[in-house]
Structure 1
């Protein structure tokens, strides 16, 4: 396949603020700011046995045929050291950033299926993206379709990623492949013919089978064959075992029964009897239209849950309504020089010479646990023993734990009233 122009090569001189945001079987994923475009991008580094880049360049030529709203957009090839000059030169892909993570991450966070309008839209969008890839010339097979390879944007629209990387996967280190297989991840979405025939050749039907299992994962929020040994899964799939459909109650909502029927057709034992993705989207489109009016509310509710999940992990943070006309007790303090900066766990690294405290013992407040208080918008937040707090989406911070040291303006020691009475 020829291109009228070579893929764009993006290097470190156009990028800044590298932050590692994930890792997988193919390699590591970084977030970075493109200084000339003024936008954040995702950089997927790929691991190779021999360190060559010829494989990724061949695959990128296929992936650049994008242009479908349900397929991740590839901006160019990456060559650089992810902002670390001491690292060796690495290669990868520069892609659009999907800030809401993957479908796998969403299902794990919700611990339940998404609201039906959103679940049916995901099913339809994934089918549209795969139908587009299969109608390229030549067809582009995915061969690793699963929840972690479907990403979500700010509106929770689904986009397929890691397509065209099937041959690259064979050059990934052996340890990474073995880890994925041991966990039963990709194996759970592989068609039976791939597990029973050493002369197996991938086809469009291979992706259709994976799509059927992916639909089951979305509407049950579960991992297929969860907890089962990979050796047993590998043995039983060719004998007709499939994910447990008894977990699906078709009476829950309109259209679910039709989705269950197309799902079972997708994972048919006979590859020739499986539908095409065009057949699938004709079904999912009608199902989604039944629930489209509730989509806005469903997306809003899920986004609220995703934002609330950030705060729920801060177990040491207590937030309560600030009482009106609150009278705070007077604070006893002593002057130790200029106003000190807030003492935190990060501390200061300079050496401080200890000097006698200029404050009388009776005026020195007792030592207490470190506590920070702020008053944003009518509430106050108390945090004890907190190294750092992140609130909201699309932001990040780096925390470096350092030995805690006394500020240079603080007294060299603090005497309790009991100790003070013992002194002559």
Structure 2
């Protein structure tokens, strides 16, 4: 689809009351560069009015406004709890720059990407956490595909992590409407992305992206998060294309030796998803319940494993916590919700709700931060010293998720 057509479509969908917000230098304080590359830079800054940190993605190319607007619009219109939230567009002069730049203002994810997590842990995350992350990625992709959206660059680096290690899909720079949503003469034909995650059919000059493209990428992502490393780390791109076209895939020998319940199911799913015949790959509608079934076998361990990972990542800051006090406003209640509630429900009623993810009663722990008078998660309350470790583990023993509030309420 032509980029102008995509933008016109999205602007119509968003309506007058939901336009992309505009931010300038007066809106953002305390800039810190957190990533830099040939594409541009990513900064963290404090939003003056919202009172919390945001991420600003700046691209070096001066002709990127339409591309950034397209990416921002995708993420704003098609958003759920597993898609990174976009606040708007930035135009100004960042620190150490001499001319005006254009960028995108997004939700700041404190834990970086899943790739960062694997590097920090020097290996894969604990199995129950890995399963939860895989389920959240599959759920996010299912939502996007249900809306007719292809991601086209799904990989560990593009899955960001919240404070409590929940996953959100990011980097929609290559995102397109799927062929089923576009007239045949407007289908996207340009193929780009990360070679290691691209299916063999994508190397055909006449290939047009379809949903099975993302399914193949998901298979490589699945291998990467379970092994804790990038596939084909030393392969040259041109040689890798030939090997993938001939059927070569990342090795399964080490993963197959794991005796974790459900690992064989994930390996079987992985091989179905990277099948050389794209018509034989499952859809995310089929993938999600398969992954959820595996996660259900390990969900009872998630609180402990997440806590241990966070303790490892934050060992210094956790040791400083003392004299926790439970706020008198703390309360426990039940709330109806779905696992992936769209932020703009009125635009997406009826989309992306499977039988396993239908509205259901779920026990939630709600804690009020006395500083902001806003709801925060159990772990955030522990980290701020509002509850002690014993109470945190008591909550864990009930089976509640360590970040159940944020899972249902996009705080």
| Aligned CA distance change for structure 1 residues 42 and 235 (closer, same or farther; 3 Å) | same
Give the distance between the partners of 1:204 and 1:42, measured in 2 at CA. 29
* Aligned equivalent of 1:227, options 234, 237, 247: 234
Between the aligned partners of 2:48 and 2:82, the Cα distance in structure 1 is 26
Does residue 135 of structure 2 align to residue 128 of structure 1? no
**What's the CA shift for 1:45?**
1.0
Q: Which residue of 2 is the match for residue 192 of structure 1?
A: 200
2:307 is aligned, of 300, 305, 310, to 300
Q: Which 4+ runs in 1 deviate beyond 4 A?
A: 308-311
Report matched runs for 1:305-384 at 5 Å.
305-308=312-315
Instruction: Identify if the C-alpha distance between structure 1 residues 25 and 134 changes in structure 2 by more than 3 Å, giving closer, same or farther.
Output: farther
Please tell me the root mean square deviation across aligned C-alpha atoms, in Å: 2.2
Contact persistence 2:67–2:173 (CA under 8 A): no
**2:74 and 2:172 in contact (8 A); partners too:** no
C-alpha distance after superposition, 1:140-185 (max 9, x if no partner):
2111111000010110001110125447xxxxxxxxxxxxx9xxx9
Judge conservation of contact 2:231–2:250 (CA < 8 Å) in 1: yes
Instruction: Kindly report which structure 2 residues correspond to 1:145-160, keeping only aligned pairs within 5 A, or say none.
Output: 145-160=154-169
Q: Does 1:236 align with 2:230?
A: no
Corresponding residue SS for 2:209: coil
- Note the alpha carbon deviations across 1:369-391, whole angstroms, 9 max, x for none: xxxxxxxxxxxxxxxxxxxxxxx
Conserved 8 A contact 1:16-1:83? no
The answer to whether structure 1 residue 274 and structure 2 residue 287 are counterparts is no
Name which of 245, 266, 272 aligns with 1:265: 272
2:43–2:55 CA contact under 8 A, matched in 1:
yes
- The question of whether the paired residues in 1 share the 8 Å contact of 2:75 and 2:84 is answered with no
CA distance, structure 2, for counterparts of residue 213 and residue 264 of structure 1:
10
Q: Deviations over 1:108-162 (max 9, x none)?
A: 11112111110100110000011111111xx121111110000101100011101
Measured after TM superposition, the shift of residue 297 of structure 1 is 0.7
Q: How many residues align?
A: 292
Q: Would you say 1:100 and 2:89 are equivalent positions?
A: no
Gaps of 5+ in 2: 1-8, 177-191, 319-382, 385-411
Deviation by residue 1:40-91 (Cα, 9 ceiling, x = unmatched): 101111232x53412222332222114311110011111111245x521111
Q: Tell whether the 8 Å contact from 2:149 to 2:175 is kept in structure 1 after alignment.
A: no
Match for residue 286 of structure 1? 293
Aligned to 1:252, what secondary structure does the other structure show? coil
Task: Measure the CA separation in 1 of the matches of 2:316 and 2:134.
Answer: 24
* 1:309 to 1:230, Cα distance in 2 relative to 1, 3 A: farther
Match of 2:298, SS state, is: helix
- The higher radius of gyration belongs to 1
* 3-state SS of 1:263 partner: helix
Q: Sort the Cα spacing of 1:165 and 1:81 in 2 relative to 1 into closer, same or farther, 3 A.
A: farther
The equivalent of 1:90 in structure 2 is 101
Contact 2:68 2:173 (8 Å CA) reproduced: no
Give me the whole-angstrom Cα distance separating, in 2, the residues matched to 1:310 and 1:102. 20
- Aligned match for 1:14, one of 24, 27, 30: 27
Matches of 1:91 and 1:241, distance apart in 2: 41
Q: How far apart in 1 are the matches of 2:198 and 2:207?
A: 12
Tell me how far apart the structure 1 counterparts of residues 155 and 317 of structure 2 sit (CA, whole Å).
25
Q: Secondary structure at the match of 2:46?
A: strand
SS at match of 1:163: coil
Checking the alignment, whether the CA contact within 8 Å between 1:62 and 1:164 is kept in structure 2 is no
- Alignment check: 8 A CA contact 1:33 1:39 kept: yes
The answer to whether the Cα contact below 8 Å between 1:141 and 1:163 also exists between their aligned partners in 2 is no
Which of 67, 70, 91 is equivalent to 2:82? 70
Task: Structure 1 unaligned segments of length 5 or more: list them.
Answer: 168-180, 312-392, 395-424
SS of residue paired to 1:64:
helix
Partner of 1:176: none
Specify the SS of the correspondent of 2:49: coil
Q: Deviations for 1:291-340, whole angstroms, at most 9, x for unmatched residues?
A: 011001111111122234999xxxxxxxxxxxxxxxxxxxxxxxxxxxxx
Higher helix share: 2
C-alpha distance in structure 1 between counterparts of 2:282 and 2:260, whole Å:
24
